Amino acid sequence: MARDLASKTFWRPSGSDDVHGGNVDWISSGAGMSRLLRRWVRSLDGAAVMAALLYAALGGAWVLWSDQVLFGLSSDPVVLRTLSEWKALFFVALSALLLPAGVVVLHQRRELLAARRERVEQEEKLRALDLLDAISNSTPDLIFTLDLQGRFTFVNQAACDALGQPAEAVLGQRFGAFFPARDRERIAALNAEVLQAGRAVSSEGEMSTAHGRRWFLSTLGPLREPDGGISGVFGVVHDITERRRQEDRQRLWAKAFESTRDGVIICDARSRIESVNRAFSEITGYEPEDAVGQTPALLHSGRHEPAFYRELWANVVARGHWRGEIWNRRKNGEIYPEWLTISAVRDDAGAVTNYVGVFTDITRVKRDEAELQRLANYDPLTELPNRRLLNTRLEQALARTRRHGGHTALLYIDLDGFKTVNDSLGHPAGDELLTCVAQRFKARLRAGDTLGRLGGDEFLVIVEALNDPQEAALLAQDLLLAVARPVALAGGHEVYVTASIGISLFPDDGCSDATAMMRDADAALYRAKEQGRNRYCFYTNDLNRQAVDKLEIEVALSHALKRGELLLHYQPKVCTVSGRIAGAEALLRWKRGGELVLPGRFISIAEQSSLILDIGAWVIDEVCAQQARWRDQGLDMPQVAVNVAARQFAAGNLDAVLGDALSRHGVPPSCLELELTESMLIERPAEGVAMLRRLKDLGVTLSLDDFGTGYSSLAYLRQFPIDALKIDKSFVDHIEAGPDGSAIVDAVISLAHRLGLGVVAEGVETPGQQAHLIAQGCDMLQGFGLARPLPVAEFEALCARAAPLLHASSQN
C-alpha cells in the first residue's frame, strides 16, 4: 500500500534522472525509493514527518507481525479469519483516524508555504522598490509622475532640489504651483500632447528652478494601467545648462574665429594647415582651399634667413609660444609686415596636437610709425626740422666744432608783423606766409646749413665751419632782405613783414651746450626787437646779466604781495572843459628795500608770468578799498581807472574778481573804470565781447587803452561795449611835428565822438599839445605836463585844492 501511494504520488516519467540514458524505472529500485523518501521528508515540517514515520512504523509492524500475533492467539481457521477481519478493520479505522490529521497537516503546510512565498515576494518587491528609489534619488535627472489632474504623485530628490521643496510639500500639489506662467503654459502643452498622442514626447527648453533659469531636455510619456488605460504622465528631465553654455561658447568662439580682424591659422602637429579664418584670406589673398594641407612656408617672403625660422620654432618648442614681427608674402607677391603670435596646443598628456598662429597686418602701423617719426622731428607745415631735431643737430654741430675748430653760429629769427597778417587775413594766409618765408630762407643758405622752425613765426638757422663771426652777420643781413620783400598770397593780398634776428656764437659766447646757445640767441633776439626790429643783434654778456636780473626780479616780485611791498600811485585825468581833476589812473609801484623799483623793470616781467593774476586782483581790490576809505572820510573823489593785463583778461574770471571786490568794500561800480587794450580783445573776439558785456552789466566804465597802436578794426570797435578811447602817447608826441603829425589824433577824436565815445589823451607834456587837443574837442588829458603819478596822500591834497591844472593859454 505504501508502495502504491508512493508510486501514485511521486511518480514521474522515466528518463529525467536516467544516468545511462535508458528507460529504467528508478522508482522500483531501493536507491530511487530512498531518494524519494529523502525529498519527501525534506518537503515536510517536523510534525508531518513524525506523523508519517509513526504511520509507516505502525503499518510496517502491522504487516510484519500481525499475522504472527494472530497465529499465536489461535490456530483455529475460523477464529483466525475472524481475527484477520478484525485486524483489517482495526487498520482501516486507524488509517481513518490518522489520514484526516495528515490532511490537516498537509493543508496547514500548504498555507504556510503560500504565506512564506507571499512574504518572499513582498520582500522582493520591497527590495526592488528600494533599489528603484535609490536609483531615482541618486541620478541628477529630475524624475516625476503626474496624475491626470496635473498633481505630483512621485518626485525624486533631484526634482525636489530643483523645486526647492521637500517631497511631502510637493506630492499632491499641482505642478503650476511651482512654476511661473510661461513655464506653466509650456508644461501644460507638453502634458496635453502626451495624453493626446499616447506616446513619449521630448523637447528642450528653459525653466525656472530654485537655482535660477536652467536649460533642460525633457522626456514626458504616458503612465498606463494594466488594462492599457492612461492614468497620468511620467517625466525624466535632464539638465543641459552646461551643455548649452558650452555650445554657446563654441558658437561664440567660432563666430570670433571668423569675425576677428586678425588672421588665424591652425596647423596640426606636423605643421600642416587645418583651418584658416576669413581675415587670413583677406590679408594674404589665399582662400581656404589654397591653404589647407599646405605648410606656413606658403607665406615665406624670402626676407628672413633659415636661422630666423630655426630660432622661431626653437622658442615655440621650448616655451610653447613665439611673438614678434615677421615679413610674409601675399598671394599676389606683395611683401608685407605682420605681428605674429604662434602658440603650441597640448593635450592632457602634454603632447602637441596643434599650432595656432594669430597675425595682424601692420603695414599701416609701420607707415604710421614712419609718419609719427617724421612728425616728431619735422614741422608739418614747412617740412623743416622742428625743435627736437634742431636741438639734436645743434649738439652734433657743436661736437664737430670742438673737434675741428672754427665757429658755429645760431640765428634765432622771429617775424615782425606776422600776428597782424594772421589776425586780419586768417590762419590760412598766415600759413602761406610762413611757407613762403621758409622757402626764401632755404634759398639763401648753404647746403650744409640747417634751417628749422621752432613754432609759430620763429625759425632757427645753424651755420657751421665759419672762419669769421662776421660771416654770420652777413648771412643775417641777407635773410632780413629776403623777408623784407613783399609776399603775394593766393587770395590776392600782398603783405609786408620784417624779421628780428638774435645771433649766438660758439665758442665765442662761452656757452657749453645747445640749450645754453639757444638761450643766448633768444636773449639777443629780444635785444634786436627792443632796438626797433628789422635788425640783428649778437649775444653779449650784458644780455646774460639782464636775463639773470630778470629771474631775480621775478622771484622777489612773487614775495612782494605777502610782504606788503606793492602800493598804488594815482595820476590825475584833467577835464578839458573845467580844467580840474575828473578822474585818475591807478599805477602800480613796488617799494623794495625802502626804494621804488622802476615800473619798466618789473611790470613786463609780471605780465609775462602768472604773477599778474594775483597782482591784478590785488590792484582792483586796493582801488575799491581806497574808494571805500575816501567815502568813509566824506571825500568826494573822482573815478579811478585800473589797467587790465592781457593774461588777467584771458583768465576768464575778471568779472567775478571785480564783482567780489565791489561787493566786499561796498562801493558803487561808477567809482571804477577798467582800461583794456584792443590786442587782448582781438585774440578771441567772441569771448572778449562776452566778457565786456558781463563787466558792463556790473556797472563799471570801460575804456580802450593805446587805441591805434594795435589792430584798430572799426568793425570790432562797433561791437565792443566801451565808453571811451585813450589816445596813445606815441601819437600825442607827434602833434607838434607839423600838419601831418596831428592827423591821427584828430581822426581818432572825431571817430570817437561820432561813435558816442569819450576821448582821453595820455602822455600830454607840453602846452602846445594841450592846446591842440582842447581845440579838437578831446574830453580829458593825462600826462606829466599836467601832473605826475602821486602817492595817495599827495593825490588827496591835490584834489582838495580843486585848482585848475590846465595851462592858461591852453584853455583860451
> CA 507, 513, 514: angle at the middle one, nearest 5?
105
CA 2 to chain centre: 108
Identify each DSSP E strand in 491-561 by its residue range: 494-495, 498-506, 536-538
> Contact 565/590 with Cβ under 8 angstroms?
yes
Architecture of domain 262-367: 2-Layer Sandwich (3.30)
pLDDT at 392: 92
> CA 622, 623, 625: angle at the middle one, nearest 5?
60
Closest CA to 646 of 709, 688, 689: 688
Q: Does 378-539 carry CATH code 3.30.70.270? A: yes
Q: What is the spatial distance between Cα 345 and Cα 320, in angstroms, rounded to a whole number?
A: 8
> Contact 434/457 with Cβ under 8 angstroms?
yes
Render pLDDT for 575-632 as a digit per residue (tens, 0 to 9): 999 999 999 999 999 998 888 888 888 888 888 777 889 999 999 999 999 999 999 9
Q: What is the spatial distance between Cα 446 and Cα 454, in angstroms, rounded to a whole number?
A: 20
C-alpha cell at 482: 629776403
C-alpha cell at 220: 514626458
> Contact 688/694 with Cβ under 8 angstroms?
no
The backbone region for 652, taken as left when phi is positive above 0, alpha when psi lies in -120 to 50, beta otherwise, is left
Do 262-367 and 139-245 fall under one CATH topology?
yes
Total-model pTM: 0.46
CA 126 to chain centre: 66
For the purposes of burial, counting CB atoms within 10 Å of the CB of 545, is it exposed (0-12), middle (13-18) or buried (19 or more)?
exposed
Q: What are the residues whose beta carbons fall under 8 Å from the beta carbon of 585, sequence distance 6 or more? A: 570, 571, 573, 640, 641, 642, 643, 675, 782, 789
Q: Report which secondary-structure segment, H or E, holds 130.
A: helix 77-138
Q: What is the spatial distance between Cα 311 and Cα 565, in angstroms, rounded to a whole number?
A: 74
CA 183 to chain centre: 40
CA 582 to chain centre: 63
139-245: what CATH class?
alpha beta
Amino acid letter, 666: G
> Contact 215/204 with Cβ under 8 angstroms?
yes
Render pLDDT for 170-208 as a digit per residue (tens, 0 to 9): 888 888 888 888 888 888 888 888 888 888 888 888 888
Q: Is the peptide bond before 507 cis (omega within 30 degrees of 0)?
A: yes
Q: What is the spatial distance between Cα 642 and Cα 567, in angstroms, rounded to a whole number?
A: 13
Closest CA to 776 of 761, 755, 765, 762: 761
pLDDT at 42: 56
C-alpha cell at 123: 520582500
- Sheet (strand 450-455) strand order: 450-455, 458-466, 407-416, 498-506, 536-538
> Contact 448/464 with Cβ under 8 angstroms?
yes
Q: What is the spatial distance between Cα 93 and Cα 209, in angstroms, rounded to a whole number?
A: 81
DSSP H helices, 590-719, are 599-607, 611-632, 646-650, 654-665, 678-683, 685-698, 714-719
Q: Write down how long the chain is.
A: 812
Domain regions of the chain by residue span? 2-111, 139-245, 262-367, 378-539, 551-811
Closest CA to 467 of 394, 407, 549: 407
Q: What is the mean pLDDT of each run of 10 residues along the chain (812 residues)?
A: 34 38 43 56 57 70 70 70 73 68 67 81 72 75 89 88 87 86 86 88 85 86 86 88 80 73 90 91 92 92 91 91 93 93 91 92 83 83 92 92 91 91 87 94 91 93 88 89 89 88 88 89 89 85 64 85 92 93 94 86 81 92 95 92 90 92 94 87 78 92 79 64 90 83 88 92 93 93 93 92 72 53
The backbone region for 221, taken as left when phi is positive above 0, alpha when psi lies in -120 to 50, beta otherwise, is beta
DSSP 8-state symbol, 386: -
Q: What is the spatial distance between Cα 353 and Cα 342, in angstroms, rounded to a whole number?
A: 14
pLDDT at 322: 94
CATH code of 551-811, in short, is 3.20.20.450
Torsion of CA 518, 521, 523, 527, to 10 degrees: -160
Torsion of CA 107, 111, 114, 115, to 10 degrees: -170
| Half-sphere exposure in the Cβ direction for 218 (13 Å, CA) | 24
Closest CA to 174 of 147, 195, 156, 201: 147
Q: What is the spatial distance between Cα 691 and Cα 228, in angstroms, rounded to a whole number?
A: 97
DSSP 8-state symbol, 117: H
3-state secondary structure of 172: coil
3-state secondary structure of 736: helix
Q: Report which secondary-structure segment, H or E, holds 407.
A: strand 407-416
Q: What is the spatial distance between Cα 614 and Cα 31, in angstroms, rounded to a whole number?
A: 137
Closest CA to 717 of 674, 688, 760: 688
Q: What is the spatial distance between Cα 143 and Cα 236, in angstroms, rounded to a whole number?
A: 5
